[in-house]
A and B are shown apart, each in its own frame.
Chain A
């Protein structure tokens, strides 16, 4: 009889289903995974060390580049940690804007997560649909910040500027005739809030479409039900947060349990799974999109009725208004000091976590009173989730390892930091 040996497979770092630069060393017994050893760090940029050499405002844009699928949630944790150290109040309108964009980010992330899970398992169509809606939301990012992804919109003390009164429109081009152009610009006639409201009106229908494609699909269920099952006890012990924890049936959501900003005023439900498999986590993500949509609607209603400042008027922290800066000596000095020396944060330490789309994203600062953090620590959810892949993938087939990587919803920007 021939000798049968286990062999090792290098999965990635150039494999399209590795979601970036994951090098997964798999020890296989035939088609069955015996051991999975992820090698990470191929995207390590030492963001935590870089922040020690930069002022707080200079470090903020690095947050976008961590989890480049859910940009503003990382910014949010950063701003909250700085604000806690400084002990400053954020204007209420800024809090609503933050919550609204957190939820827009959640939809962005879950669309991407569900769409790529579909793509990895061979369901190409949902990927195309998902990216269609993402495009609209990225336009919202662009309208407020000027950048589609790396927004740097949340700042310590509030948000950089108020929501724009007009939504940018598509321009005429030789590839578009007049009627196409009119169609494309139909929901862009009013302000950004009008555009977002229009989005919330049509989005539930879109979610129904994704569900028609996947939820009851027999092949989809064969590929996801019973794959990567995590019991609630294991999910807690392995440090899971976010949809990974809720998929296993633990009703833990920081937005409800430790509400920050104005989440305590929002009406939404925490979505919980039962079996803790890939299929349940998919359902949790889909339903969270519907809940986020509800929150965005409530924010839009409030923001329409309540104008006001969107950033703190403490000019030691937030820049003064541009017009005042040009006309006023005091404001000019503040502006100059803020953008050269930066803000001085009192000595102390603070940890702030937000319920990011992937799980708890936390920022931990140790400040010694300088204009730069003494130590910045980023707690990324995907790092912990990926560390459990060995336990989750053991005993599954190679093709299911792909589903497990995808259901973890990992992004290497934040795992390697």
Chain B
């Protein structure tokens, strides 16, 4: 770990204390994991504490871990990952929180902390079905008006369920069950770490 990253690491442990569920460094990036209950209060501290000052939220994205590594996933299925940036200290941090309950994933909205999260949370709701409690305007954003389902979940097929065309008889756009046959050109392969090494 570089000294700069070490400093951030120490400060996070110092300031957040009990709130840190996990703090890992890999490839020069720090990832902080917090429990869903601590998520909002941690966000507030990350932004406001003078030793941290993560004033800018660069990104928030939903993740569905259900098929990770082609083996059963041992814990909650949905998570959000936030990329934070501190302009003052020139630091980056990734914040991750898993959503309790796979049936209805919920998490507090951090829109009061970082206003820029507005559309990112709408997007995560649209594509993954994660509900952000406290978001003032949680509508779908990228999918069609009247879309059913959450397309970026791993159990949603690549080709979707419906296709759309203009019907000249009814003189309007109609939806029909999809006619594309799913196919995978290059199969997905997970190799074990020692694959291809000589004995």
Contacts and interface: CB of A to CB of B under 8 A. Distances in A.
B27 A377 contact: no
Interface stretch (B5-13, B33-41, B100-108, B184-192): B184-192
B22 interface: no
Nearest to A250: B87
B90 interface: yes
Contacts of B87: 236, 250, 252
Interface string B97-121: 0000000000000000011111100
B115 A379 contact: no
Interface stretch (A8-16, A305-313, A345-353): A345-353
Interface stretch (A67-75, A141-149, A323-331, A360-368): A360-368
A347 to B, nearest CB: 7
Given A48-B152, A252-B87, A348-B27, A237 B115 contact: yes
B25 to A, nearest CB: 11
Interface in B54-72: 55-59, 61, 63-64, 68-70
A342 B119 contact: no
Interface stretch (A50-58, A124-132, A169-177): A50-58
A344 B186 CA distance: 13
B68 A368 contact: yes
B172 to A, nearest CB: 18
Interface string B132-170: 000000000111100000011000001000000000000
A370 B190 contact: yes
B82 to A, nearest CB: 10
B29 A368 contact: no
Interface residues of A, number: 54
B63 A375 contact: yes
A49 B158 contact: yes
A239 B58 contact: yes
A387 B114 CA distance: 13
Nearest to B191: A344
Contact of A342 (B59, B186, B195): B186
A348 B90 contact: no
A188 interface: no
A98 interface: no
Nearest to B57: A239
Given A237-B114, A344-B191, A416 B69 contact: no
Interface residues of B, number: 43
Contacts of B141: 40-41
A371 B189 contact: yes
Contacts of B143: 41, 44
Given A236-B87, A341-B189, A349-B31, A364 B81 contact: yes
B44 interface: no
B186 A377 contact: no
A50 B185 CA distance: 12
Contact of B27 (A87, A384, A416, A417): A87
Most buried by A among B28, B61, B188: B188
A384 B68 contact: no
Given A239-B116, A342-B186, A348-B26, A379 B31 contact: no
B42 interface: no
A340 interface: yes
B27 A350 contact: yes
A366 B57 CA distance: 19
A340 B186 CA distance: 7
Nearest to A348: B26
A258 interface: yes
Contacts of B114: 237, 239
B94 interface: yes
9 contacts: A53-B158, A84-B27, A238-B115, A351-B29, A369-B193, A374-B69, A375-B61, A379-B58, A384-B119
Given A239-B116, A252-B87, A374-B69, 19 more contacts: A41-B143, A49-B158, A53-B158, A87-B27, A237-B115, A238-B116, A258-B92, A344-B191, A348-B26, A351-B83, A362-B59, A364-B81, A366-B63, A370-B70, A370-B189, A371-B189, A375-B63, A377-B61, A388-B116
Give the 7 A-B residue pairs with the shortest CB-CB distance, closest first: A239-B116, A41-B142, A387-B119, A379-B59, A368-B69, A377-B61, A44-B142
